[in-house]
Copies of this chain bind each other. A is one copy, B any other.
Amino acid sequence: MALIVQKYGGTSVGSSERIQHVAEKVIAMRKQGHDVVVVVSAMSGETNRLVSLAKSIADPPEPREFDVILATGEQVTIGLLSIAIQAKGYAARSYTGGQVHILTDNAHNKARILEIDDKKMRADLAKGTILVVAGFQGVDEYGNITTLGRGGSDTTAVALAAALKADECQIYTDVDGVYTTDPRIEPRARRLDRISFEEMLEMASLGSKVLQIRSVEFAGKYNVPLRVLSSFEEGQGTLITSEDNIMEQALISGIAFSRDEAKLTILGVPDKPGTAYQILGPISDANIEVDMIIQNMATDGMTTDFTFTVHRNDHKKALNVLQKIAQNLGAKEVRSDEQVVKISLVGVGMRSHAGIASKMFKTLADVGINIQMISTSEIKISVAVDEKFLELGVRVLHEAFGLDKATA
């Protein structure tokens, strides 16, 4: 008998029928003898409806009151799911974030969980009651309603699992697990049985949007085994766990990619100490996040070229800032390119194996893909390439690193 926290997203509870279906899944788990805590999101579409309503009054809405409005979405779902479970003959009880004292800071609309009081929940679980808790919300120390920001229900589930020392936190979504890469690009992409927290973080931040990054960080920090499964199909999903629990570690776990890149280059900057800061300081001041960075000496030996990537949404803004910088520094020219994508190999196995990078570069070169930029971390190698090579690049790498075959 274990204690399981399950989380169902907006699509999984998007209609009365789907809520009935979730009730059956929850009860099936209870019937196996497990204690169950369920975290739910607002019904799909509901949060958008509430956002529009608030913005029709004032845009942006005042943050405290915006949270009061947004929190109702999940409150409706917890009531509906509890009614559905009870109607099928099982004890259930709903709780808002405030009712189980999910204490957060007071950063409305993007609050962080500080503490959870597990007393009430433990008493209910001891009686065999299924708990249904509103995701995405909490209260600050003065009892004001706060929300964790979009996708915060995943974080709520992990935080509850950590507070209750649950055996597993199961995140039900519309995909049946984490894949070696996006199956829409490489049909031979394979569902991973297990992946480490760190790898998942790299996969998520690079565009495999299965889980909220914050919830994975949280799960890693508190070592909560996290499982991603489908609400609609049966299956074991993918278990995200600490590296120690993954017996046979593949070299590479997956290939992530991002289409949302833009590349900016400032050419012919006089090469003096502090140049990098003089360029990136104003970019950062404009709240633009920089991803990959490279700096080369120009052929004249007196000036340098400086290239970096930003999110494509920030391209125009970054370009404006950079043009001003270029004038101030007496640089020769500014160039930019929106036709850039990033492809990344992710795997904890690369820590102990040399030659991954060279194999990656050779594989891409063999099919004529020119690498524009490279950046590496302990468990990741990323390259920027022309966007027309995205699909080809992902597929040849997927094949070269044997990702379509189960781990030996």
Which A residues form the contact surface with B (CB < 8 A)? 16, 19-20, 50, 53-54, 56-58, 61-62, 64-69, 71-72, 75-76, 78-80, 82-84, 86-87, 93-94, 96, 98-99, 143, 145
Q: Is the interface of A mostly helix, strand, loop or mixed?
A: helix
Q: Given A20-B57, A98-B98, is A62 in contact with B50 using a C-beta cutoff of 8 Å?
A: no
Q: Which 8 A-B pairs have the closest CB atoms?
A: A69-B79, A72-B72, A58-B87, A68-B79, A16-B56, A65-B79, A65-B82, A65-B83
A72 vs B96: C-alpha distance in the bound complex, in angstroms? Answer: 11
State the copy count for this chain: 2
Instruction: Please indicate which of the listed interface residues A50, A65, A69, A98 has the most CB atoms of chain B within 10 Å of its own CB.
Output: A65
> B62–A69 contact, CB under 8 A?
no
B residues in contact with A16, CB < 8 Å: 53, 56-57
A80 vs B80: C-alpha distance in the bound complex, in angstroms? Answer: 24
Instruction: Identify 14 new A-B residue pairs, CB closer than 8 A, beyond the known A19-B57, A57-B84, A69-B75.
Output: A16-B57, A20-B57, A53-B76, A61-B79, A61-B83, A62-B82, A62-B86, A64-B94, A65-B82, A65-B83, A67-B79, A68-B79, A68-B82, A72-B75
- Could you list some 25 contacts between A and B, CB below 8 A? A16-B53, A16-B56, A50-B76, A53-B80, A54-B79, A54-B83, A57-B80, A57-B84, A58-B83, A58-B86, A58-B87, A62-B83, A62-B87, A65-B86, A65-B94, A66-B83, A68-B75, A68-B94, A68-B96, A69-B75, A69-B80, A72-B76, A96-B145, A98-B98, A99-B143
| Closest chain B CB from A88 CB (angstroms) | 9
| Closest chain B CB from A305 CB (angstroms) | 49
> B78–A58 contact, CB under 8 A?
no
Instruction: Please indicate which of the listed interface residues A69, A71, A99 has the most CB atoms of chain B within 10 Å of its own CB.
Output: A69
A65 vs B62: C-alpha distance in the bound complex, in angstroms? Answer: 29
| Closest chain B CB from A7 CB (angstroms) | 19
A84 vs B79: C-alpha distance in the bound complex, in angstroms? Answer: 29
A365 vs B55: C-alpha distance in the bound complex, in angstroms? Answer: 62
Q: Given A68-B79, A71-B75, A72-B76, is A57 in contact with B143 using a C-beta cutoff of 8 Å?
A: no
B residues in contact with A61, CB < 8 Å: 79, 83
| Closest chain B CB from A371 CB (angstroms) | 50
A71 vs B16: C-alpha distance in the bound complex, in angstroms? Answer: 19
B residues in contact with A50, CB < 8 Å: 76
A386 vs B396: C-alpha distance in the bound complex, in angstroms? Answer: 90
> B69–A54 contact, CB under 8 A?
no
B residues in contact with A82, CB < 8 Å: 62, 65, 68
